[in-house]
Amino acid sequence: MDFEEHAAKPLLAGKGIAVPRGGLAKTPDEAAEVAARIGGAVVVKAQVPTGKRGKAGGVKLAATPDEARTHATPIIGMEIAGHKVEKVLVEEQVPIARELYAAVLNDPSSKGPLVMFSTEGGMDIEEVAATAPGNLRRRPVDIRRGLSHADAATLVQGLALRAAEGRVTDALVKLYEAYAAFDAELLEINPLIVARDGRIVALDCKFVMDDSAIARQPVVSRAGTPEKLTGLEARAKAAGLKYIDLEGNVGVLANGAGLTMTTMDVVRHHGGRPANFLEIGGESYTQARPALELLLSKPGIKSLVINFCGAFARTDVMTQGVIEAIEALHPKLPIFFSVHGTGDEEAIKLLKDRLGVTPFATMDGASKAAVEAAA
């Protein structure tokens, strides 16, 4: 779950990391009011859950409240990376002495948290990692012990931070505490600045919460950005199904994320275009009927490939659900099956007896037939 900057910064502040004074505005007039309240020069920042807002023209400096209104006018309503800007964060400008970068993330390679620190703040960190890897320091952490002050100190030593070194170390420890407390997948401050007055301030913040932890973060997760879903995706989510709309015309239903992605790949390999991702693996293998009913309501589907390969998911149970949906809705489009794995003998018999259909010997065969039928 993504958090916009204005929702993420209070979490840092709650852990003792300074953030600029500011307020949220939904209209240009509100932006001017917030700027007047702050007093002095401000920055107007588009609030969307994506990076590179500055490059897209979504971040502007303003010397006066009137200027803040002028800048907010085109920003509110603009689109950045597919997200419509509905609000701006208006913040005081903090004079910068030095820009740094700090982040903590879940690292699959070390199988634990990874703290990253760089003196190349304000830059695209992937670019820093690619062009000047020596400027990006990394430290894997044992999550059972956390990040100690001494651990954090090793990340910032020898970088000529001088008087600020101790305070930057403190900020890293607090950043790690926030990461741990809020079940972050990624918590990134870019830039973390040393202000001219010596304070350490988070000028920006990117926070992604682990989706699997939302249930145990009921208060914090309320401030997160709801996923942007199409109508069908929202209906699927409410029904507990994993569904994604795509542009093609070959409908796909399979069990398991890996198998479903592969079915899409094979449809593409045979020159077709998958219309969707829809999987009923794991505990949701009993949901074949509502899943297929949902998919059949998608306009523009010309054919359907149903590919089951049962491990945990029983193919007989899934096939029973599919048959119920077909008998209830009588779809006109051609449907091609491939069924293997746990329960396949019963499943194949069900298809023969109830629909008079014999599944293909391979998923390639079924996918290819579906592509040809949709062409």
Q: Which CB sits closer to other proteins, 327 or 364? A: 364
Residue with tokens 């505990």, as numbered in its chain = 283
Active site residue 101: yes
Does 180 participate in binding other proteins (rule CB under 8 A)? yes
Q: Which CB sits closer to other proteins, 118 or 255? A: 255
Does 363 participate in binding other proteins (rule CB under 8 A)? yes
Judged by CB under 8 A, which stretch of 22-30, 55-63, 257-265, 298-306 contacts other proteins?
257-265
How does strand 112-118 pair with strand 136-140?
antiparallel
Does 281 participate in binding other proteins (rule CB under 8 A)? yes
- The CB-of-359 to other proteins minimum distance in angstroms stands at 13
Please select the residue that binds other proteins; options are 138, 139, 235, 340, rule is CB under 8 A: 340
User: Which residues, numbered 226-245, are part of the site for other proteins (CB under 8 A)?
Assistant: 242, 244
Q: What CA–CA distance (Å, rounded) separates 375 from 370?
A: 9
Phi and psi dihedrals of 309, rounded to 5? -140, 100
CA torsion sign, 154 to 156 to 162 to 166? negative
Active site residue 372: no
Judged by CB under 8 A, which stretch of 31-39, 156-164, 198-206, 281-289 contacts other proteins?
281-289
Q: Which CB sits closer to other proteins, 30 or 279? A: 279
Residue with tokens 């997760």, as numbered in its chain = 221
Tell me if 217 sits within 8 A of 183, measured CB to CB: yes
Residue with tokens 């949220």, as numbered in its chain = 24
- The CB-of-247 to other proteins minimum distance in angstroms stands at 9
The candidate with the shortest Cα–Cα distance to 252, out of 236, 265, 270, 234, is 265
Give SS3 for 354.
helix
Does 108 participate in binding other proteins (rule CB under 8 A)? yes
The catalytic position among 67, 101, 120, 279 is 101
Q: What CA–CA distance (Å, rounded) separates 29 from 18?
A: 27
The catalytic position among 4, 5, 30, 188 is 188
* Catalytic annotation, residues: 101, 188
